């Protein structure tokens, strides 16, 4: 299947969603999105870390250093309370947007 | 929001730790990616390369991450500053050259700005509602020529006050030099004579006592009260509060001190700030009384003061001018009722206008003001040259750093970051240059002051916030401008190519921008040098001007009776005695009594000639009276007829000598000798013209109409005589001897003042002198800067081409060939610069013409000389590095890499 470019502004939403279940480090976040989207979405690696730092600055995720699966020091990001609210709001907005776009496209 | 701020703050404080964390985080990512690829079956090497490729430039990601952290700006600025400072310290030669060049350019400009600001833009200290305050100027037409004037008769001032409604305040002011104190202490001191309303124009409170009350400023004569300046109070009375109520002698009147003006208060003055102020009606009615000015507040004979008005808040300047013009026309009608020779409104078309408070911005701004404007333009050009120079140095440096820069771009540093870094460096340089500039300006403004300002007013740059601000702004702009070009050029270009090339190989290439900057410098230097040449020739022409009398061997003497009352007869006797006494001084060739002194005062009375309706309408004819020795003492040639002789006594038939210009004006095409003029009134007996003298310049060196006539002093007011003395040699050596000898003859409080004619003429030449001095100074500076610029670029080129030159020499090139090659390159710039500069100077010639004298603005001698000078300088500037190039050892050059 072809890879798709991420639409503008969706990177933040995907990252928030990816860390909403449990704390994850950067590489795992990008892998996870890649897998879950069945290899359709590929996060441009150059934008991942700046995005993580931006979200951290906004206070939506917070970072802690922990041991990784193979027992190396890694930086884990997890969702904060405001981050969760933001995720809910953005998810909602995204759903409404896609269904609206879908309606228009299916117009007879 | 708060968390955001905290985060940024933490990011800033823990910058080092966070950088390390970022490194760790990115390294971890790469490792995991590599592991994944190995697991998928790649070799370790391939996996590492693949992971890095997918990841992109690490440096760029770090940059973006830093940006995301929000400390980017602060952080990078601090980082860039440290980086720039390190770079500059590492190259002290380059740094010094740039800072000095900028310093010279900025210093010259800051000093000029201080002066221009003071003369043109700054409003006087303490003046309030500045935007509503105006000086009033009068315009009228004589013989189809409109002229502007700002001297008012007191009556005119009253008319324009009472017949206007646009103003909530008006004031009259004038400045006089009067003898203060008595006996040996007596000193001539500038005194302000002002109406009581004058102080209402200022937000000033007396340091002591009070200002004038309206009751102290009344016609016919005001009260003998005086307000001291703060400086005079400190100097003469050591700031004692007991000074109020004390008396001081001004001229021959005793005044009571009623107040002290606040510190730095100078009122509105175009000359040295006054040491004290007296009511204007006290001056006119008391100090100046007895010189037939009894009804100065009723007639229109004595124009001596200036008028100040403040518009009501809702009145526009146009309305104010219309209102003033109406009042002025009414006033001219009132004058005509008293004096029938007043020209009619239809022909004189009088207008009054509300002009700017700053004299040098007004319609009467002198040559000084115009020259200052020009010189400011010139100093800006010098700054441009300095900037071009610095830009060139920076470009050369950027070229030298191409590999370093290419390397950093390859590592993923964004070009915008690179630009910011280079700009930071040039702004830092600009700031250093600004500091150097302030130091240089501090010295320069002292020189400027001595050239342009007479008064002792301070013109310190460091204490003047406006000038400092100007300097800072220009320094920063210069920094950005000079940094921009090299920064942009550095950001371009092929990275791979730059990386592959060696330190020297391929790096020699001409930059079109650098060539343009060199040509620009040459062009500007040519323009300035042409200006300097034209001004120097003007000054020489003014100096060589035949002004109709000799200057160096002549000195002038005037005396003031100051309270010593003598009858007219006694005054005439005194004057005759002084003339005889001064002739007896060894070294004095001859002396004459004279009614007026050149550039000091002039006298004119009504003239009546048969067949001419109104002589006054033909121009202003100045009267002079002298002894039989007059023409010999002055050195003025009598071209036809005879001069004044001993036979022209009081009872002999009245005669006069007229100037050639006067003869031509009154009797065109006819012989003036034998003609009859009635002097003073048309009922007077005929005064017969017996001689024609060459024209003299007694009021303006370059614009004098030369309408003068000479009466035997024994026939006309022998009591009003001053002295003109002719000596063998330089009159300046006799000033003190003459003063002491004559002072011994003076009765009572009377005193004499002596002046060498050279000192009197000096100020008249001053604007020529200052224009020439400043243009020469600035153009020399421009030439030096341009030469340094050319030298720097050629030297850099030679260094870049060492290898190529080595090859040439190895292949048998002679010294002459190498010299020709390099000097030729330098000369090409110079020749193009000369051509463009001369073209610009020719275009600008129209605008300088009014400032020149006796030399065409397209003078071929000046243009030719400038071209030669520039070519010679360019040859020397490129010859030095060229000569060094010929000494390149081909062996060393070829092996080096």
pLDDT one-digit tens code per residue, B74-128: 667 777 888 888 888 887 877 888 888 888 888 888 887 877 777 777 778 889 8
Per-residue pLDDT at B230: 93
Q: Which residues from B are below 8 Å from A77, CB to CB?
A: none
Quick one: DSSP state of residue B628? T
In this prediction, residues B722-739 reach a mean pLDDT of 91
Helices marked H in B692-756 — which ranges?
Answer: 735-743
Among the partner residues B57, B60, B69, nearest to A57 by beta-carbon distance: B69
Q: Is the pLDDT of residue B653 over 90?
A: yes
Among the partner residues B55, B57, B64, nearest to A50 by beta-carbon distance: B64
* Cα distance between the two ends of chain B: 57
Among the partner residues B21, B25, B68, nearest to A54 by beta-carbon distance: B68
CB atoms A75 and B57 under 8 Å = no
Chain A: residue whose CA lies nearest to B9: A57
Query: Alpha-carbon distance A4 to A8, whole Å?
Result: 12
Per-residue pLDDT at B710: 95
CB atoms B61 and A58 under 8 Å = no
Cα B207 to the center of its chain, rounded Å? 33
Q: Is the pLDDT of residue B751 over 90?
A: no
Per-residue pLDDT at B506: 44
Per-residue pLDDT at B226: 96
CB atoms A50 and B61 under 8 Å = yes
Higher pLDDT, B765 or B569: B569
Among the partner residues B3, B28, B55, nearest to A45 by beta-carbon distance: B55
Structure confidence at residue B16 as a pLDDT band (50, 70, 90): confident
Query: Alpha-carbon distance A75 to A52, whole Å?
Result: 11
Q: Which residues from A are below 8 Å from B24, CB to CB?
A: 73, 75
Q: Is the pLDDT of residue B897 over 70?
A: no
Which of B15, B23, B25, B72 to mutate against chain A (most A CBs within 10 Å)?
B25
Encode B550-568 in three state secondary structure. Answer: CCCCEEEEEEECCCCCCCH
Q: Which residues of A touch B (CB under 8 A)?
A: 25-28, 31, 45-47, 49-54, 56-59, 65, 68, 72-75
Per-residue pLDDT at B563: 67
Which residues, 6+ apart, have CB-to-CB distance to B399 below 8 Å?
A: B507, B511, B796, B800
CB atoms A25 and B28 under 8 Å = yes
Q: Is the pLDDT of residue B456 over 50?
A: no
In this prediction, residues A27-38 reach a mean pLDDT of 84
What are the Cα distances from residue B781, in Å, to A63, B440, B634, B774? Answer: 62, 13, 42, 11
Hey, where are the domains in chain A?
10-105
Per-residue pLDDT at B347: 81
Please give the angle made by the CA atoms of B102, B106 and B107, to the nearest 5 degrees. Answer: 115
Structural contact between residues B115 and B448, judged by C-beta atoms closer than 8 angstroms: yes
Q: Which residues from B are below 8 Å from A28, CB to CB?
A: 32
Structural contact between residues B619 and B659, judged by C-beta atoms closer than 8 angstroms: no
- A vs B: CB pairs below 8 A: 69
Per-residue pLDDT at B72: 55
Structural contact between residues B143 and B617, judged by C-beta atoms closer than 8 angstroms: yes
Structural contact between residues B727 and B555, judged by C-beta atoms closer than 8 angstroms: yes
Give me the residue label for tokens 């001229």: B251
Tokens of B636: 């003025």
CB atoms A50 and B21 under 8 Å = no
CB atoms A74 and B69 under 8 Å = no
Of the listed ranges A51-65, B574-588, B631-645, B680-694, the least confidently predicted one is: A51-65
Cα B169 to the center of its chain, rounded Å? 32
Chain A: residue whose CA lies nearest to B59: A46
Q: Which residues from B are below 8 Å from A45, CB to CB?
A: 29, 54-56, 61
CB atoms B28 and A27 under 8 Å = yes
Q: Is the pLDDT of residue B255 over 90?
A: yes
Q: Is the pLDDT of residue B235 over 70?
A: yes
Helices marked H in B495-654 — which ranges?
Answer: 495-500, 512-544, 568-583, 630-634
Query: Alpha-carbon distance B389 to B788, whole Å?
Result: 8
Can you tell me the ipTM of this complex? Answer: 0.83
Q: Which CATH number fits domain A10-105: 3.30.830.10, 1.10.10.10, 3.40.50.300, 3.40.50.620?
A: 1.10.10.10
Q: Which residues from B are below 8 Å from A26, CB to CB?
A: 25, 28-29
Query: Alpha-carbon distance A108 to B869, whole Å?
Result: 86
Q: Is the pLDDT of residue B508 over 70?
A: no
Q: Which residues from B are below 8 Å from A74, CB to CB?
A: 25, 28
Q: Mean pLDDT for chain B?
A: 84
Residue whose C-alpha is closest to residue B464's, from B229, B202, B125: B125
Tokens of B95: 């740094």
The total number of residues shown for chain B amounts to: 897
Q: Is the pLDDT of residue B196 over 80?
A: yes
How is B72-125 classified by DSSP, letter by letter?
A: HHHHHHHHHHHHHHHHHHH-HHHHHHHHHHHHHHHHHHHHHHHHHIIIIISPPT
B472 phi, psi to nearest 5 deg: -60, -45
Q: Is the pLDDT of residue B8 over 70?
A: no
Per-residue pLDDT at B580: 93
Per-residue pLDDT at B9: 67
Residues B323-358: tens digit of each pLDDT: 999 999 999 999 888 877 777 888 888 999 999 888
Express as a percent the part of chain B with pLDDT over 90: 29
Helices marked H in B117-211 — which ranges?
Answer: 154-162
Q: Is the pLDDT of residue B880 over 70?
A: yes
Per-residue pLDDT at B180: 83
Per-residue pLDDT at B531: 87
In this prediction, residues B385-412 reach a mean pLDDT of 77
In this prediction, residues B204-216 reach a mean pLDDT of 93
Q: Mean pLDDT for chain A?
A: 82
């Amino acid at each position: 299947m072809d890879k798709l470019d991420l639409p503008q502004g969706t990177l933040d939403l995907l990252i928030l969603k990816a860390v909403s279940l449990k704390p994850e480090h950067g590489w795992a976040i990008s892998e996870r999105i890649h897998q879950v989207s069945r290899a359709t979405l590929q996060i441009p690696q150059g934008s991942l870390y700046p995005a993580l730092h931006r979200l951290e600055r906004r206070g939506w995720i917070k970072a802690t250093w922990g041991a990784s699966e193979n027992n190396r020091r890694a930086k884990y990001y997890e969702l904060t309370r405001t981050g969760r609210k933001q995720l809910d709001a953005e998810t909602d907005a995204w759903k409404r947007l896609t269904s609206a776009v879908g309606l228009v496209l299916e117009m007879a | 929001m708060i968390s955001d701020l905290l985060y940024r703050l933490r990011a800033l404080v823990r910058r080092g730790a966070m950088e390390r964390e970022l490194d760790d985080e990115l390294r971890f990512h790469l490792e995991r990616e590599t592991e994944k690829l190995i697991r998928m079956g790649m070799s370790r090497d391939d996996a590492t390369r693949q992971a890095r490729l997918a990841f992109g430039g690490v440096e760029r990601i770090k940059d973006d991450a830093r940006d995301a952290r929000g400390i980017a700006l602060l952080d990078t600025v601090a980082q860039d500053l440290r980086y720039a400072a390190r770079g500059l310290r590492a190259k002290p030669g380059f740094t010094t050259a740039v800072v000095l060049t900028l310093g010279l350019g900025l210093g010259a400009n800051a000093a000029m700005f201080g002066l221009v600001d003071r003369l043109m833009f700054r409003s006087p200290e303490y003046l309030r509602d500045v935007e509503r305050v105006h000086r009033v100027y009068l315009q009228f037409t004589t013989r189809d020529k409109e002229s502007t004037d700002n001297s008012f008769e007191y009556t005119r001032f009253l008319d324009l006050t009472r017949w206007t409604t646009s103003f909530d305040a008006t004031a009259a002011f004038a400045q006089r030099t009067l003898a203060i104190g008595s006996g040996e202490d007596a000193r001539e001191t500038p005194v302000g004579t002002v109406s009581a309303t004058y102080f209402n124009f200022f937000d000033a409170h007396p340091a002591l006592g009070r200002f004038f009350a309206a009751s102290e400023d009344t016609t016919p004569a005001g009260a003998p009260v005086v307000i001291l300046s703060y400086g005079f109070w400190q100097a003469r009375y050591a700031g004692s509060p007991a000074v109020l109520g004390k008396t001081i002698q001004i001229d021959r009147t005793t005044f009571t001190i009623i107040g002290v003006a606040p510190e730095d208060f100078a009122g509105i003055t175009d000359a040295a700030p006054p040491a004290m102020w007296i009511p204007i009606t006290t001056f006119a009615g008391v100090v100046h009384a007895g010189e037939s000015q009894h009804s100065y507040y009723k007639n229109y004979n004595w124009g001596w003061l200036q008028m100040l008005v403040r518009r009501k808040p809702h009145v526009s300047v146009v309305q104010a001018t219309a209102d003033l013009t109406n009042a002025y026309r009414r006033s001219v009608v009132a004058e005509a009722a008293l004096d029938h020779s007043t020209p009619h409104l239809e022909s004189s078309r009088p207008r009054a206008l509300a002009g700017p408070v700053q004299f040098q911005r007004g319609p009467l701004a002198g040559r000084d003001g115009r020259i200052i404007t020009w010189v400011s333009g010139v100093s800006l050009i010098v700054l441009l040259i300095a900037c071009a120079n610095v830009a060139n140095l920076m470009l050369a440096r950027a070229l030298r750093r191409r590999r370093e820069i290419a390397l950093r771009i390859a590592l993923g540093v964004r070009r915008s970051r690179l630009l910011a870094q280079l700009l930071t460096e040039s702004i830092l340089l600009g700031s250093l240059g600004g500091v150097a500039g302030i130091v240089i300006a501090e010295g320069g403004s002292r020189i400027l002051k001595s050239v342009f300002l007479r008064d002792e007013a301070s013109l310190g740059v460091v204490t003047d916030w406006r000038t400092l601000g100007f300097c800072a702004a220009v320094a920063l702009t210069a920094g950005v401008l000079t940094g921009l070009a090299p920064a942009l050029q550095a950001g371009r270009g092929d990275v791979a190519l730059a990386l592959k090339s060696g330190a020297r190989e391929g790096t020699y290439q001409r930059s079109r921008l650098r060539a343009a900057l060199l040509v620009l410098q040459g062009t500007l230097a040519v323009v300035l040098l042409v200006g300097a040449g034209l001004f120097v020739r003007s000054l020489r022409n003014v100096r060589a001007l035949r002004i109709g009398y000799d200057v160096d061997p002549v000195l002038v003497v005037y005396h003031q009776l100051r309270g010593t009352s003598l009858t007219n007869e006694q005054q005439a006797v005194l004057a005759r005695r002084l003339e005889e006494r001064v002739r007896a001084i060894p070294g004095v060739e001859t002396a004459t009594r004279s009614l007026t002194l050149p550039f000091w005062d002039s006298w004119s009375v009504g003239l009546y000639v048969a067949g001419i309706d109104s002589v006054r309408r033909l121009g202003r004819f100045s009267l002079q009276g002298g002894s039989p020795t007059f023409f010999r003492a002055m050195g003025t040639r009598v071209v036809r007829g005879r001069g004044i002789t001993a036979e022209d006594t009081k009872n002999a038939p009245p005669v006069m000598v007229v100037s050639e210009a006067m003869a031509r004006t009154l009797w065109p095409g006819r012989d003036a000798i034998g003609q009859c003029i009635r002097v003073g009134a048309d009922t007077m007996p005929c005064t017969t013209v017996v001689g024609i003298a060459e024209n003299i310049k007694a009021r303006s060196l370059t614009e004098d109409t030369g309408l003068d006539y000479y009466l035997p002093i024994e026939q006309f007011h022998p009591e009003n005589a001053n002295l003109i003395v002719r000596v063998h040699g330089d009159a300046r050596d006799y000033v003190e001897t003459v003063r002491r000898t004559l002072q011994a003859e003076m009765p009572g409080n009377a005193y004499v003042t002596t002046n060498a004619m050279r000192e009197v003429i000096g100020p008249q030449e001053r604007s020529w002198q200052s224009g020439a001095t400043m243009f020469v100074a600035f153009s020399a500076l421009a030439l030096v800067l341009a030469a340094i610029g050319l030298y720097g670029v050629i030297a850099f080129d030679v260094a870049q081409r060492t290898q190529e030159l080595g090859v040439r020499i190895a292949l048998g090139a002679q010294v002459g060939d190498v010299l020709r090659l390099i000097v030729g390159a330098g000369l090409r710039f110079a020749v193009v610069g000369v051509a463009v500069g001369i073209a610009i100077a020719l275009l600008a010639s129209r605008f300088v013409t009014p400032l020149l004298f006796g030399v065409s603005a397209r003078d071929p001698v000046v243009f030719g000389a400038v071209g030669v000078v520039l070519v010679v300088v360019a040859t020397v500037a490129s010859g030095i590095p060229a000569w060094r190039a010929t000494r390149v050892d081909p062996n060393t050059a070829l092996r080096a890499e």
